Chains A and B, each alone.
Chain A
Amino acid sequence: MTRADKLARLQDIFRDVLDRPDLQLTEDFSTADCPEWDSVATVQIVLAAEAAFNVRVPMETVAHLRQVRELLDLLP
């Protein structure tokens, strides 16, 4: 899967969790760009990404996750 494919799958997850159906997700997208992306949303995004990509995101990454790129880098 290419990085662009992964970003596209993440976009579906972010749109669903943040309830922003028109969101155009970029690697730079961060918590600073979206007040709805709070700690609760982070957990929901991570859990959905883990299920979609069959991967376990390390606790350290989850603790400090602020930007799409940080999650994208970990996806297989």
Chain B
Amino acid sequence: MLRAAITAIHHCVPTRRLTEAELEARFGAKNVQSIAKLSGIHERRIVEPGTTAADLGFAAAERLLAGRNIPRETIDLLIVATQTGDYQIPGTAYVLHERLKLSQHCIAYDLNQGCAAFPYALAMAQGQFAAGLAKCALIINTDALSGIIHPQDRTLVTLHGDGAVATLLEVAKGEEGLLGFHFGTDSAGWRYLCLPASGARQPRSEETRKAIADETGNVRSAEHFQMNGQAIFHFAIHKVPEVTNEALKKFGVTVADLDLVVLHQANRFMIEQIYKKLGVPAEKQFFYLENVGNLSGASSPAVLSEAVRQGKVKPGALVLLAAFGVGLSWGLVLIRIGQDGLAPIAASTDYTPAT
């Protein structure tokens, strides 16, 4: 039975920087500094009007394929994981399949998942390798939440950035590859991360367009992404260490066996608390949010990609990746890097329309 292995990864973020100074002018210095102190986020990268998550995903994938000289016809599976696609119908996978000039033999579909998307997409790909349906997969995790967040919603504006990651999966050789998965769902919390007027249940109308300020001054309409930050924070602080310990037990490994523990970059305080609860030492931690923000579905693969760029992922490394969010859902994957290592793609990580 074939197993998949990550053989290349590259990420891309917009060049527009949403700075602390801009946000202080919008929300007041005290508010912004208070959030930044906890979140560890001091700058966010957001798309310019007209640029979409698909554009970011295209740039990341194009650079990855060019950087590794991958013939387009060898890609037989394309999974695009996004919650901010170009259209409700069709999936963004079809838009990008055309733009990337992939072959008609390539399976392509979207995965509607939020911050936990990366392990879910990896599991889908692994299943298709195991079923003999794919041997060379391209996964694109991309989100541009800045377009669906109300500019006066400080709980979200201050945290989120936009970004995309392209990951290449090929048939594993030897011990490398995707070694195990662990998933779960607590649907009692789905309302706490929600874009209400975004589908059939609540069609858009004059009413849904009305912006309303809550008691703390945050403004949003039913057509904007909404988060109950305190519920999500509480969920993550408790649930992620719990399910990570379950996963470690299931995989038969301990933190001591791991070389790197990658977490979804929701905010720095939360990540530090989770690392602390799990007993992950500093040398096995990695942060990538201070200058880009929480990249939503692209966050956890972007951490891995940036760690690769910084030479933190050695050949043969054992990596545990945990991501969590919308649903509420969580996903964990145990990854063994190949003995050849994961060489970074030489291209820039800054988005430009011409790749």
Contact = CB atoms under 8 A, between A and B. Distances in A.
Given A56-B238, A63-B192, A39 B230 contact: yes
A59 interface: yes
B291 interface: no
A62 B234 contact: yes
Interface stretch (A8-16, A41-49, A67-75): A41-49
A57 interface: yes
Interface in B31-47: 34-35, 38
B74 to A, nearest CB: 45
B231 A38 contact: no
B235 interface: yes
B283 interface: no
B14 to A, nearest CB: 27
A60 B38 CA distance: 23
B254 interface: no
Contacts of A39: 155, 216, 228-230, 233
B237 interface: yes
Contacts of A32: 215
Contact of B234 (A31, A38, A59): A59
B45 to A, nearest CB: 23
B189 interface: yes
B216 A63 contact: no
Interface string A9-47: 000000000000000000000011000001110110011
B235 A59 contact: yes
Contacts of B234: 43, 46-47, 57, 59, 62
B189 A43 contact: no
B228 A43 contact: no
A47 B230 contact: no
Contacts of A57: 234
Interface residues of A, number: 16
B256 interface: no
Interface string B179-213: 00000001011001000000000000000000000
Nearest to A46: B234
Contacts of B237: 43, 47
Contact of B188 (A38, A46, A47, A59): A59
Contacts of B186: 59
Given A40-B34, A40-B35, A40-B38, A62 B231 contact: yes
A63 B228 contact: yes
Nearest to A63: B231
A56 B241 CA distance: 15
Contacts of B216: 31, 38-39
Nearest to A57: B234
Nearest to A60: B188
A63 B188 contact: no
> B38, B216, B228, B233 — which one has the most chain A CB atoms within 10 A of its CB?
B233
Given A38-B216, A40-B34, A40-B38, A65 B230 contact: yes
Interface in B129-167: 155
A59 B231 contact: yes
B215 A63 contact: no
Given A40-B38, A57-B234, 8 more contacts: A46-B234, A56-B238, A59-B186, A59-B188, A59-B192, A59-B235, A62-B231, A63-B228
21 contacts: A31-B216, A38-B34, A39-B155, A39-B216, A39-B233, A40-B35, A40-B38, A40-B229, A43-B229, A43-B233, A43-B234, A46-B234, A47-B234, A57-B234, A59-B186, A59-B189, A59-B235, A62-B230, A63-B189, A63-B228, A63-B230
